[in-house]
Structure 1
């Protein structure tokens, strides 16, 4: 405790004029004077300010410029066009031979290649920092760590430079970091204010934790929804580092955490036990030694999740390396009081600095061991895959080419081998057609990722999850798939090419677009933006087209060549151009008289209103859920969406919009006059899309009248009367639904299901809100099947509630309606299988009651 208090005291001193930064961060070290320290370059001691990202980049550019031991590479750009950089530090000989070293190293990940002589190979380490922008100490530690490795004259640093290649990613989330840095710096006091109530320590919504679209990038290594993760994973698979770090911050009253994480309960089922039982323990001894030397308190094994594959500390574990999570008690600003005294920004940086150096030493000492493990990992993956009874997974959706293309590309991005399916086959409950389905063999180096994509996990060692308990990505894409032991595959797929559809020639009475394709909504919006009049056909029909007699489902778009404001040739050329851009098959017919079903002039055919959407954001609203919606509108639809802050809702005239989106959140900020305006707007034809507890608020205010599932008496009868205090967290935590997957049933005749061809659909649930189906028998278009559980964790009590509840309910309000979603159709930007449910609510909400 004495050493801990001394460290805290020294952390306070660093902001005083004349204090030696080197003696604080690097006591007793000597450095190459030709290499500028971060303090010399920035003009202030590290820890005095939150360093802007552009200055971090410039410092790394300076190191690249002046040292022959450093090489800087830009691997991509964020949404706000900040560069994503990697600084590589190694000996002159290694940097001069970097590409050959890389190629030799990644042979270890390919058992079909001869194993190189690992005794002669350098250790490959990747030090990653700052995935959460408002956990800022790690990016400062990144500068200090790179400086130490490049300039320190210590024996360890020299040995590392000669026998390792260290890649530094100073900030995984540059956009979020700068959002937080601006906040902390602009609210800094002189002297710093340690009171946790001070504005500096209470960052405004949405905070700097997330990226531009308010996504948590520490969940995106698996989904790859965002550019930051996409370029990072592409870079990662170019290198397969032996060790990867993931530095974080936690509550101010905590101490310091390093792995191992919670045994069994927080471990991923596909990762070999050797990772947890041996390698983690080896490295932990180094972290303890370094933190002991500076007197910092720390703990291990009690908390933090290592099961979800999308973490920066878990994904490397599924790639034959070691992923390491570190958590530092945060100053959330420059100085904040805690139960152990004031925590300074400099102190938080120092702990991450010493852990960085400890990681490098451990990686170097275990160099050959980690190389051997990398080869062993992929060899055992192939052999285990060969023993898997499945042998292959076959997948494909014959109705949705765009979603197929997205999923195949996703598998390839994770280096999973995919092959053509060369014959029509039936496997499980599905039929798969040649040319519209693909095969993934289990006997391949990425077998453990194959399991991640296709395997439903239902049994766990724990019932409390820090995050999602289910992540089967084939379910997220809504992809029909089945294991099959007897399939013969065709050619291997190495790249994705978009289909080229032939546009119909000659004179047309109307053009038709099948709504089943994932990008049909994007096509519709583009047509509306171009001034083309589009109608929707609300019943199935069969038409004579250039493809012959063609069956179409309800929800098909029809573009009559009459009733257009544009000239006929302009309409045709616009449709042709947009169809090519959006890879859509266009059908043409020369008559309005159909072979079967309704005709094009039926009263069941009507104009599609161009939507104008507004969404509530701000304090009290779920930033991640709002971000998922914003990202969907931008990236997959190309639709401008008005985001209005909670405090500005009183100024909004809802009659300027067709659709109001209410993400999960607290809506008690709305005044009675706001609520009256909302009720009036809905009753006159407005559409509200309400997410989870936003529906509870609407129910409470009497705007909708739905009924919660009540099992309180059953719960009371089964609840133990007495339990030990120590099991409180586990017992109560098991009652939440942290994220799991269920099978639901669609009413395919309802507009919310337009574009879907199968009645069953996987849905993702991460809330414990259970609402009974509507009393109106027509207005619960999505409900769970009798045995809905597909994967993840759910308690028996909650599964009982789920069986009595609805996934989506339409609540009529006068001439308008509320579309209530109790699951997460846009979860993490990758639930492509349920996105269209949400988009249907936007385009066809006015048809839903």
Structure 2
């Protein structure tokens, strides 16, 4: 029988393999009755997921619900809390006990958290979660009643509500009704850009467990720290031509901070999945393909928080049915496999509960009381970045203190307004080490994701290790924002551009029609001993839109809203440097940006730019798909933004249109592979050096076939942190307090040097590697090469960056470069 006819039969009874694995359910509202069809016949939407959980909780004393907030699109995230009625009646007591876990106090209750479909188009998990919740709520099997008497099971069916709905609507729209179509070319199996994997801002939420830049992630991590589970199951899907994967992953690619005992328990638990899948004659594999390294994923973040995290990967039908090398895959079969391993996980965790509880207890033993020595950290004058760091640490349960007074350490003054202290010894000491670790040596240089991610680089922090504060030098209280009130004789107000709140403040001022200028040279106002760097904003009190009487209260209120310090001055004269009336204070124009999306563009990087403009600096941005760009009137826009991607489908006519846009004063801001297209179309004069050029640096003569994978690993840049050496006088470097700034590099790409003066804004230093893996060949090749440029073209400019300035929206240290390209560079270069 051919694949299509096999799947046609499956399509007429899609739920049978799921239903056969469940015991009979006799209650008022079964899952099938609630949906109105057998589970798996259609892809469930998030509202159906929530609706069934609410129905289940209303009808069954074993079930209650936990809300962990809302997605960007305001979909509520629910987790089913399933345990015995007796335990349900004492959940407050149980949670009080769980709060003692980090103090190393043994808690006999087992908590298991099974979480599904963090990638919205990996939907079999969400379906299996509903079937599992129904079974646990109603089954009278002895092992389930025993499990629920001594355990709490948390089930989160949908960790990415926005992506799940995007995918469900796509798949349901294109499925065959009478005859499911298994052909991999069918539209049902090939989603349009950006696909359902991502959330609203096109972020991969399974890379956000450490960075917490999205509300879905913040809710998940809060749930983990509230319940402190000993076991976390993370259910995914992979390519349809594979079988089934569960951890352990590749042993040599486990992060060194993960205890060996963790991996030993992971392998013991795997015996339960092996047995369950063998009984169904379902092929599987482990110890290959996937690692346990980056702690920002759902299967590894638990490992650094006293739990055992386990990744499950099911072959995906990406619809109802699809041909595959394993005889075809259906949604129904995928659901059944996910349900099978979910039940096996519960059985394994229950049988090994004493070992799991013992591991968690030992993990936190002796770590409860914060020590007196640790990291002293400064955000270099940026209070907002300090508060963002503190908020991130709080969400991870990390203990920290603010400086209560200025402290001198070596030649550095650490201000109480921008510094904090993190004790090395504390309950989250291993997590703290993971957050700030810089590692450049690895047993196996193969990485499923990034090889470095330290917050010191991401936030561009100054850090002193092994600092011991005095008794009165630290405080639990955040520095209070204090605004200097402007006097009646104020002629202008100055804004230090280094502050994170300065860009959103500027965007709001432009929306309100307030004229703003920026300095392109440093200065010190008269009667002031405070110097101001290039990039400082100046708001004159003489405005067309407002009188001084209304302007000053308005500005004071706005500065408080963005927590930006306004410095009033009573004279346009300067003690040193340019006067405030100088032509070197250039007028800034409002930004009207167009972000290219759709075909060819990297969805996550488009999403990062979108998130930065919309959420972080409150700057509106127009998204236009690349296929529509030729029909758009570019005269309406000041900036055209290009994320990483393949733009080869765009033709010469569009290139001429973009060239004219720049010639007439427009700005193109492009990163990574977008530079390649610009260079090929003569929009960028500097030659882009691509992967083929750099791979010539590797000697391959005499390599055996068994060395092929090792060479491929050395030639990959999964994600390593490199330094950029900035030209501090260049407008793209305004507002950055240090001469070097770390960036995340995950693309084999560089820039040649034409020798044209005043174009290059940043280079890699001779020894660029900060953290992560970068082969010696690449380190030598990138050393002293160009990384950031601004090429004038007519009245406009093309900005090109070899790396992602906004990596996962956590790379706050280089966000200012993007803000400069939007606001300050065009004005500075038009002088």
> TM-score normalised to the size of structure 2?
0.96
Which residue matches 2:187?
199
Which residue matches 1:293?
279
Per-residue CA deviations over 1:378-420 (Å, capped at 9, x if unaligned) read 126679x97xxx9411101241111111111111111111123
Which residue matches 2:149?
162
Is the Cα–Cα contact under 8 Å of residues 18 and 333 in structure 2 kept in the other structure? Answer: no
Is the Cα–Cα contact under 8 Å of residues 614 and 657 in structure 1 kept in the other structure? Answer: yes
Residue 212 of structure 1: SS of its match in structure 2?
coil
Is the Cα–Cα contact under 8 Å of residues 238 and 313 in structure 2 kept in the other structure? Answer: yes
Where does 1:330-409 land on structure 2 (aligned, <5 Å)? 330-379=316-365, 391-409=373-391
Where does 1:151-300 land on structure 2 (aligned, <5 Å)? 151-189=138-176, 190-265=178-253, 267-276=254-263, 278-300=264-286
Which residue matches 1:675?
655
Alpha-carbon distance change, 449 to 325 in structure 1, aligned in 2, over 3 angstroms:
same
Structure 1 position 728, deviation (Å): 2.1
Distance 1:725 1:480 in 2: 46
Is the Cα–Cα contact under 8 Å of residues 7 and 182 in structure 2 kept in the other structure? Answer: no
Residue 576 of structure 1: SS of its match in structure 2?
helix
1:686 maps onto 2:662 in alignment: no
Structure 1 position 437, deviation (Å): 1.6
Distance 1:39 1:763 in 2: 51
Which residue matches 1:72?
65
Which residue matches 1:624?
604
Is the Cα–Cα contact under 8 Å of residues 376 and 467 in structure 2 kept in the other structure? Answer: no
Which blocks of at least 5 consecutive residues in structure 2 are unaligned?
none
Structure 1 position 214, deviation (Å): 0.1
Distance 2:233 2:260 in 1: 20
Per-residue CA deviations over 1:474-506 (Å, capped at 9, x if unaligned) read 210111112125444657765757613232232
Distance 1:70 1:11 in 2: 36
Alpha-carbon distance change, 442 to 338 in structure 1, aligned in 2, over 3 angstroms:
same
1:576 maps onto 2:569 in alignment: no
Alpha-carbon distance change, 832 to 713 in structure 1, aligned in 2, over 3 angstroms:
closer
Per-residue CA deviations over 1:96-148 (Å, capped at 9, x if unaligned) read 1112112213322213xxx34x5xx3310111001000111000000011111
Structure 1 position 718, deviation (Å): 5.0
Structure 1 position 776, deviation (Å): 2.2
Is the Cα–Cα contact under 8 Å of residues 805 and 817 in structure 2 kept in the other structure? Answer: yes
- Residue of 496, 505, 510 corresponding to 1:523: 505
Distance 1:292 1:490 in 2: 63
Computed over aligned residues only, the root mean square deviation of the Cα atoms, in angstroms, reads: 2.4
Distance 1:75 1:817 in 2: 45
- Residue of 429, 432, 446 corresponding to 1:447: 429
Distance 2:473 2:146 in 1: 47
Residue 178 of structure 1: SS of its match in structure 2?
helix
Per-residue CA deviations over 1:528-578 (Å, capped at 9, x if unaligned) read 111111111111111147xx4321111111111225332222222221121
Is the Cα–Cα contact under 8 Å of residues 430 and 480 in structure 1 kept in the other structure? Answer: no
Residue 88 of structure 1: SS of its match in structure 2?
strand
1:103 maps onto 2:76 in alignment: no
Distance 1:177 1:330 in 2: 14
Alpha-carbon distance change, 38 to 640 in structure 1, aligned in 2, over 3 angstroms:
same
Residue 355 of structure 1: SS of its match in structure 2?
helix
Which residue matches 1:81?
74
Distance 2:420 2:182 in 1: 58
Per-residue CA deviations over 1:791-837 (Å, capped at 9, x if unaligned) read 00001111111104222111222222111011111000111111010
- Residue of 462, 469, 473 corresponding to 2:455: 473
Of 644-653 and 135-144, more deviation after overlay is shown by 644-653
Is the Cα–Cα contact under 8 Å of residues 532 and 571 in structure 1 kept in the other structure? Answer: no
1:50 maps onto 2:43 in alignment: yes
Residue 800 of structure 1: SS of its match in structure 2?
helix
Of 359-368 and 835-844, more deviation after overlay is shown by 359-368
1:652 maps onto 2:632 in alignment: yes
Distance 1:494 1:99 in 2: 27
Is the Cα–Cα contact under 8 Å of residues 244 and 316 in structure 1 kept in the other structure? Answer: yes
Per-residue CA deviations over 1:347-377 (Å, capped at 9, x if unaligned) read 0111100111011111111222211111111
Of 563-572 and 836-845, more deviation after overlay is shown by 563-572
Alpha-carbon distance change, 92 to 337 in structure 1, aligned in 2, over 3 angstroms:
same
Is the Cα–Cα contact under 8 Å of residues 671 and 802 in structure 2 kept in the other structure? Answer: yes
Which residue matches 2:738?
758
Alpha-carbon distance change, 426 to 791 in structure 1, aligned in 2, over 3 angstroms:
farther
Of 714-723 and 30-39, more deviation after overlay is shown by 714-723
1:16 maps onto 2:4 in alignment: no
Alpha-carbon distance change, 408 to 717 in structure 1, aligned in 2, over 3 angstroms:
closer
Which residue matches 2:540?
560
1:134 maps onto 2:82 in alignment: no
1:317 maps onto 2:282 in alignment: no
Residue 813 of structure 2: SS of its match in structure 1?
helix
Is the Cα–Cα contact under 8 Å of residues 709 and 801 in structure 1 kept in the other structure? Answer: no
Distance 2:21 2:585 in 1: 81
- Residue of 591, 596, 616 corresponding to 2:571: 591
Per-residue CA deviations over 1:145-172 (Å, capped at 9, x if unaligned) read 1111111222222222212100111100
Residue 550 of structure 1: SS of its match in structure 2?
coil
Which residue matches 1:615?
595
Distance 1:435 1:510 in 2: 24
Alpha-carbon distance change, 422 to 47 in structure 1, aligned in 2, over 3 angstroms:
same
Distance 2:17 2:724 in 1: 59
Distance 1:713 1:83 in 2: 49
Alpha-carbon distance change, 470 to 28 in structure 1, aligned in 2, over 3 angstroms:
closer
Which residue matches 2:613?
633
Is the Cα–Cα contact under 8 Å of residues 105 and 239 in structure 1 kept in the other structure? Answer: yes
Where does 1:692-703 land on structure 2 (aligned, <5 Å)? 692-703=672-683
Distance 2:237 2:409 in 1: 47
Is the Cα–Cα contact under 8 Å of residues 766 and 780 in structure 2 kept in the other structure? Answer: no
Residue 766 of structure 2: SS of its match in structure 1?
strand
Per-residue CA deviations over 1:56-112 (Å, capped at 9, x if unaligned) read 11010010010011001222111111101111111111011112112213322213x
Distance 1:187 1:490 in 2: 66
1:432 maps onto 2:414 in alignment: yes
Alpha-carbon distance change, 759 to 188 in structure 1, aligned in 2, over 3 angstroms:
same
Is the Cα–Cα contact under 8 Å of residues 8 and 344 in structure 1 kept in the other structure? Answer: no
Which residue matches 1:91?
84
Of 461-470 and 307-316, more deviation after overlay is shown by 461-470
Distance 1:349 1:75 in 2: 25
Alpha-carbon distance change, 178 to 429 in structure 1, aligned in 2, over 3 angstroms:
farther
Where does 1:736-755 land on structure 2 (aligned, <5 Å)? 736-755=716-735
Distance 2:536 2:697 in 1: 51
Which residue matches 1:463?
445
Alpha-carbon distance change, 287 to 99 in structure 1, aligned in 2, over 3 angstroms:
same
Which residue matches 2:495?
513
Is the Cα–Cα contact under 8 Å of residues 428 and 482 in structure 1 kept in the other structure? Answer: no
Distance 2:594 2:236 in 1: 34
Is the Cα–Cα contact under 8 Å of residues 235 and 311 in structure 2 kept in the other structure? Answer: yes
Distance 1:68 1:590 in 2: 70
Of 528-537 and 209-218, more deviation after overlay is shown by 528-537
Distance 2:768 2:34 in 1: 59
Residue 530 of structure 2: SS of its match in structure 1?
strand
Matched positions, count: 828
